[in-house]
């Protein structure tokens, strides 16, 4: 990429002496479908060790290899807890209804990190994620559950069960969000996140204090590596604000491929896979409900019978009930360990598309700044050329005036119409040309209100044309040079931002790919384990029912077993022939 070779990558995933060589990176390294590359030890900024007590999902991932804890500089107690070498699991242990500082009740989620608890409502989780995305525009910030209309839990007592289910689901997904942030090698070191986990800190205070209070309104006009930098160059204000749909002259094929696959991945996960998963879960739920009804009917039927038959019917009903219970548990496992993570990865796809759009806009910024700089340089060249021509003409006129004064008796100085010799002092070849006074603003202000529209427009155009062209040209040259200097600084900053964004986004996509592979593996194993447990529980229940059924005595009208002759048991054909004989045929 022209103009970018001189800039060094500032990748936060790397430490000193470890830089990503973007020139040697293949297209597939950025694509999400590429096989995961082995983790680099120096990129493990937040090392952890495996914890056997943590839930299977979200998976710690292959990028979370255990290693020696090198971090010794902790910003706060929460930072020390998160990075003490243990795999700390952040838990949401409760959801409480409260109306503190509000006219209407709302739900707060109790977060436990180590021995500390903090309470936050959903809107504060949403605010945390939004601000992390603005603080780190080149990183994949995990999603939070979609907002739903569950703000009126307390007033809808009739739907308490449904609300409880929604709250439980939101608790799980918000807990997953916090743990994903805590296991991210960069985001886990952010002090804003640590303060969110601290129960002694007001979130309103965090929002109104640095670094969040220093966030610019437009992150495209701020440094990619630190949007809150108070010492950022003022040249950032000269950068354009392009649209995400603006085309590129020289697009990077690596990110085009990554964007194409992200769209394909999101459409597939959020389309057919989620649709089929919802249908499967619904059918399992209906299957469980049918067994619940059947079990109740069999248990009632057993009361009308006696002895072994009653016990067998009751045991069968209990086996059906066991099937209902195990199927209900299977449905819960499918929702928690398959459907919810699948929807989360659909959200991840949308987040990555926004991340690639940000990088695209940074690339467009670079090209637009290049174009603006070239246009200003061409404009300066034209103005300087006009200035040289004006000076050459002025020098030629000056030489002519000097020659005219040196030879007063020449025919040129006497004139054709017999002018007086003394008239030379007022000839138009005088060496002094007074500057044009230009438009008079005060006079324009006094006369314009009484004019008609056409007269006012004509007056304004004449005022614009009456400006001294020489002065305007020189002012234009000065201003253009200033613009060029500012655009050169802006181009330098834009090139740095583009290179930083490309390398950092590429590194985080690589980390996300390893995490995705680990999560999908855990999802598939969890699904297989759930079905295995379902089969085991059902097998045990139905084997007990079978043993009880076998205790039922034979019915007195039971057809006797076929007699065995020398040739063996009677064949079906022989039985049919015997029946035919009995019937007189």
Per-residue pLDDT of 481-525, as tens digits, reads 999 999 999 999 999 999 999 999 999 999 999 999 999 999 999
Whether 44 contacts 67, CB under 8 Å? yes
Q: Which residue has the tokens 């330098």?
A: 492
Write out the two tokens for 105: 């009740």
The predicted structure's pLDDT at residue 101: 80
Q: Tell whether 120 and 243 lie within a shared domain.
A: no
Domain that holds residue 344: 220-395+470-552
Q: Tell whether 206 and 232 lie within a shared domain.
A: no
Please say which residue of 215, 239, 261 terminates a domain. Answer: 215
Please say which residue of 192, 215, 238 terminates a domain. Answer: 215
Domain containing residue 294: CATH number: 1.20.1270.60
The predicted structure's pLDDT at residue 29: 35
Q: Tell whether 225 and 209 lie within a shared domain.
A: no
User: Residue 134 domain-assigned?
Assistant: yes
User: Residue 182 domain-assigned?
Assistant: yes
The predicted structure's pLDDT at residue 230: 87
What tens digit of pLDDT does each residue of 379-437 get?
999 988 888 888 888 888 888 777 766 555 555 444 444 444 444 444 444 444 445 44
Measured CA to CA in angstroms, residue 95 lies from 106, 107, 168, 218 at distances of: 10, 6, 8, 35
Alpha helix (H) ranges present in 269-339?
Answer: 274-302, 307-334
Q: Tell whether 198 and 290 lie within a shared domain.
A: no
User: Residue 287 domain-assigned?
Assistant: yes
User: Residue 414 domain-assigned?
Assistant: no
The predicted structure's pLDDT at residue 72: 77
What tens digit of pLDDT does each residue of 81-126 get?
998 877 789 999 999 988 888 888 889 999 999 899 999 999 999 9
What tens digit of pLDDT does each residue of 39-63 get?
333 333 444 444 545 565 566 544 4
Alpha helix (H) ranges present in 136-159?
Answer: none
Q: Tell whether 300 and 172 lie within a shared domain.
A: no
Whether 132 contacts 143, CB under 8 Å? no
Domain containing residue 101: CATH number: 3.30.1520.10
User: Residue 130 domain-assigned?
Assistant: yes
Q: Tell whether 272 and 305 lie within a shared domain.
A: yes
How many separate domains does the chain show? 2
From the number of C-beta atoms within 10 Å of its C-beta (0-12, 13-18, 19+), residue 157 rates as exposed
Whether the bond between 567 and the residue before it is cis, its omega within 30 degrees of 0, is no
Q: Is 101 helix (H, G, I), strand (E, B) or coil?
A: coil
Q: Tell whether 117 and 166 lie within a shared domain.
A: yes
Q: Tell whether 225 and 242 lie within a shared domain.
A: yes
The predicted structure's pLDDT at residue 386: 87
Q: Tell whether 236 and 189 lie within a shared domain.
A: no
User: Residue 49 domain-assigned?
Assistant: no
Whether 134 contacts 227, CB under 8 Å? yes
User: Residue 266 domain-assigned?
Assistant: yes
What tens digit of pLDDT does each residue of 427-472 get?
444 444 445 444 544 444 444 445 566 666 665 655 555 557 778 8
Query: Which residues are CB-neighbours of 348 under 8 A, at least 6 positions away?
Result: 140, 142, 143, 512, 516
Whether 37 contacts 29, CB under 8 Å? yes
Whole-model pTM: value is 0.74
Task: Determine the Cα–Cα distance for residues 412 and 420; give it in Å rounded to an integer.
Answer: 13
Confidence of residue 71 (pLDDT cuts 50, 70, 90): confident
Q: Tell whether 147 and 253 lie within a shared domain.
A: no
The predicted structure's pLDDT at residue 567: 58
The predicted structure's pLDDT at residue 102: 81
Q: Tell whether 80 and 135 lie within a shared domain.
A: yes
Task: Determine the Cα–Cα distance for residues 243 and 551; give it in Å rounded to an integer.
Answer: 78
Stretch among 75-79, 86-90, 127-131, 477-481 having the lowest mean pLDDT: 86-90
User: Residue 86 domain-assigned?
Assistant: yes
Q: Tell whether 233 and 117 lie within a shared domain.
A: no
């Amino acid at each position: 990429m022209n103009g970018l070779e001189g800039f060094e990558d500032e990748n936060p995933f790397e430490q000193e002496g470890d830089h990503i060589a973007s020139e040697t990176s293949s297209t597939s390294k950025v694509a999400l479908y590429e096989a995961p590359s082995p983790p680099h030890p120096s990129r493990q900024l937040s090392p952890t060790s495996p914890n056997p007590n943590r839930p299977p999902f979200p998976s710690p991932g292959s990028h979370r290899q255990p290693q020696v804890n090198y971090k010794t500089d902790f910003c706060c107690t929460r930072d020390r807890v998160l990075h003490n070498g243990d795999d700390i699991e952040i838990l949401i242990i409760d959801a409480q209804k409260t109306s503190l500082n509000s006219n209407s009740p709302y739900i707060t989620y109790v977060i436990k990190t180590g021995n500390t608890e903090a309470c936050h409502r959903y809107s504060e989780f949403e605010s945390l994620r939004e601000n992390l995305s603005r603080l780190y525009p080149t990183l994949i910030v995990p999603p939070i559950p979609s907002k739903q209309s569950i703000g009126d839990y307390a007033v809808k007592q009739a739907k308490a069960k449904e609300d409880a289910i929604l709250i439980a689901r939101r608790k799980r997904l918000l807990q997953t969000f916090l743990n994903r942030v805590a296991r991210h090698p960069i985001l886990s070191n952010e002090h804003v996140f640590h303060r969110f986990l601290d129960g002694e800190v007001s979130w309103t205070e965090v929002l109104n204090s640095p670094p969040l209070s220093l966030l610019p309104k437009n992150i495209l006009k701020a440094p990619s590596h630190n949007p809150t930098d108070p010492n950022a160059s003022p040249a950032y204000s000269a950068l354009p604000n392009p649209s995400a749909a603006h085309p590129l002259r020289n697009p990077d094929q690596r990110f085009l491929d990554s964007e194409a696959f992200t769209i394909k991945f999101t459409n597939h996960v959020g389309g057919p896979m989620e649709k089929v998963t919802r249908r499967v879960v619904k059918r399992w739920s209906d299957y469980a409900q049918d067994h619940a009804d059947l079990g109740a009917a069999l248990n009632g039927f057993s009361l009308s019978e006696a002895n072994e038959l009653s016990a067998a019917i009751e045991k069968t009903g209990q086996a059906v009930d066991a099937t209902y219970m195990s199927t209900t548990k299977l449905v819960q496992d499918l929702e928690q360990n398959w459907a919810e993570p699948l929807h989360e990865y659909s959200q991840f796809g949308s987040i990555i598309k926004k991340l690639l759009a940000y990088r695209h806009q940074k690339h467009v910024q670079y090209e637009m700044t290049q174009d603006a700089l070239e246009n200003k340089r061409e404009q300066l060249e034209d103005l300087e050329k006009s200035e040289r021509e004006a000076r050459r003409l002025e020098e030629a006129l000056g030489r002519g005036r000097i020659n005219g004064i040196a030879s007063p008796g020449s025919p040129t100085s006497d004139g054709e119409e017999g002018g007086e010799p003394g008239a030379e002092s007022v000839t138009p070849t005088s060496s002094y040309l007074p500057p044009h006074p230009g438009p008079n603003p005060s006079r324009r202000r006094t006369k314009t209100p009484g004019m008609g529209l056409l007269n006012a427009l004509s007056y304004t155009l004449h005022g614009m044309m009456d400006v001294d062209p020489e002065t305007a040209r020189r002012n234009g040259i000065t201003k253009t040079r200033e613009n060029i200097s500012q655009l050169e600084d802006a181009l330098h900053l834009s090139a740095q931002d583009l290179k930083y964004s490309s390398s950092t986004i590429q590194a985080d996509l690589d980390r996300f790919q390893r995490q995705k592979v680990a999560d999908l593996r855990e999802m598939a194993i969890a699904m297989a384990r759930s079905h295995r447990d379902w089969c085991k529980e059902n097998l045990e229940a139905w084997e007990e029912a079978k043993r009880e059924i076998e205790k039922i005595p034979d019915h007195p009208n039971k057809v006797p077993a076929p007699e065995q002759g020398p040739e063996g048991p009677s064949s079906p054909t022989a039985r049919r022939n015997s029946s035919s004989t009995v019937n007189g045929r």
